[in-house]
């Protein structure tokens, strides 16, 4: 466990004005997204698309790191270098998704899930470190429903996250823990806030139980939004206030930083919510982004698998990264006002 390296990596992941690109979609998720723009989901097309993102000129101004899928971490960049090596050469930290997805939690309500992937994790982390990956990600899923989440569901995921985090730190890899509370459902923002708080309290209790120092980890969290089917959607300021309140109640000040997932929000909503939170005063940690769709959507829709569209797609990607780079400093709204003037 190299504490100096862990501290350096964690600090760089949440550097001012920068966030993290989540490019760790599984082949199944990629297939759905590619299908929406009429692109066949082959290994080569996945490589070409991700290299389009990674090779965007100047994007390293706004990206501190990229979360890779195992397949991508083993592929080559356009210049022939291994992708982790290529990213590191641009000053972007390579990260890796290490969980194996979710399964039904036994004896729990239907749809209550727990994440698998602890078996063999130590050996996989050792290999990923040699490949150049310096942080990892593990996603847990918390569903809000009539009978969920249960106490068992929250604690099962909390303890798995803690064991994963301990394994990462032992391998000198910064763990990014992602206890995502889904926005699926018709729940209120109030209910979302309750579940976020319960989830994070359990997660940090488990981290303490497994002797995981918070100084060497990053939280990737969802925002406290209304369920997507609720007729009353919380506004930008309400989402920001509720989310920051939960974080201040649960996340130790010693933690290097917090990144947000977009979780199905629109591109602009994710940026607006981040901007409102980052603009708040006296926050104990930096807040930034770790978006997938909210960064990639415009680029994917522009690219459509056509080599002739690469330049335009990269321009769209660069713009979204720039806007979120401003938002994590609380400067996005001012930039919109400046452009409109």
Alpha carbons 157 and 264: distance in angstroms, whole number = 21
From 305, 297, 309, 232, select the one nearest 262 (Cα to Cα). Answer: 297
Q: Could you confirm whether 315 is annotated as catalytic? A: no
Q: Could you confirm whether 331 is annotated as catalytic? A: no
Alpha carbons 151 and 156: distance in angstroms, whole number = 9
- Give the active site residue among 18, 97, 137, 220: 220
Alpha carbons 135 and 161: distance in angstroms, whole number = 14
Alpha carbons 320 and 230: distance in angstroms, whole number = 28
Alpha carbons 175 and 95: distance in angstroms, whole number = 10
φ and ψ at residue 173, rounded to 5 degrees: -115, 130
- Give the active site residue among 25, 112, 178, 193: 178
243: tokens are 């989310």
Is 17 in a helix, a strand, or coil?
A: coil
Torsion 265-266-267-268 (CA) sign:
negative
From 207, 208, 20, select the one nearest 96 (Cα to Cα). Answer: 20
Asked whether 328 and 64 are in contact (CB, 8 A), the reply is no
**Residues forming the active site:** 178, 220
């Amino acid at each position: 466990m190299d504490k100096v390296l862990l501290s350096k990596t964690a600090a760089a992941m949440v550097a001012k004005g920068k966030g993290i690109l989540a490019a760790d979609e599984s082949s199944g998720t990629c297939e759905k997204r590619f299908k929406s723009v009429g692109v066949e989901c082959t290994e080569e097309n996945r490589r070409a698309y991700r290299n389009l993102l990674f090779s965007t000129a100047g994007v390293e101004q706004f990206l501190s790191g990229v979360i890779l899928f195992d397949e991508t971490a083993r592929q080559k960049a356009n210049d022939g270098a291994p992708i982790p090596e290529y990213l590191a050469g641009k000053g972007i930290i390579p990260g890796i998704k290490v969980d194996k997805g979710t399964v039904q939690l036994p004896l729990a309500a239907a749809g209550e899930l727990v994440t698998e992937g602890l078996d063999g994790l130590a050996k996989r982390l050792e290999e990923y470190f040699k490949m150049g990956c310096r942080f990892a990600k593990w996603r847990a899923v918390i569903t809000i429903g009539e009978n969920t989440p249960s106490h068992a569901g929250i604690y099962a995921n909390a303890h798995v996250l803690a064991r994963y985090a301990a394994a990462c730190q032992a391998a000198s890899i910064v763990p990014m823990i992602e206890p995502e509370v889904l926005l699926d459902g018709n729940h209120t923002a109030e209910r979302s806030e309750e579940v976020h708080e319960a989830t994070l309290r359990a997660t940090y209790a488990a981290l303490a139980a497994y002797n995981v120092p918070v100084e060497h980890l990053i939280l990737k969290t969802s925002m406290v939004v209304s369920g997507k089917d609720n007729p009353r959607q919380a506004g930008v300021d309400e989402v920001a206030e509720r989310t920051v309140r939960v974080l201040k109640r649960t996340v130790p000040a010693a933690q290097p930083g917090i990144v947000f997932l977009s979780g199905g929000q629109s591109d602009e909503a994710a940026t607006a919510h981040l901007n409102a939170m980052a603009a708040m005063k006296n926050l104990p940690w930096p807040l930034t982004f770790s978006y997938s769709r909210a960064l990639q959507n415009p680029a994917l829709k522009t690219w459509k698998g056509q080599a002739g569209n690469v330049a335009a797609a990269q321009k769209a990607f660069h713009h979204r990264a720039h806007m979120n780079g401003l938002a994590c400093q609380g400067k996005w709204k001012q930039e919109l006002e400046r452009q409109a003037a």
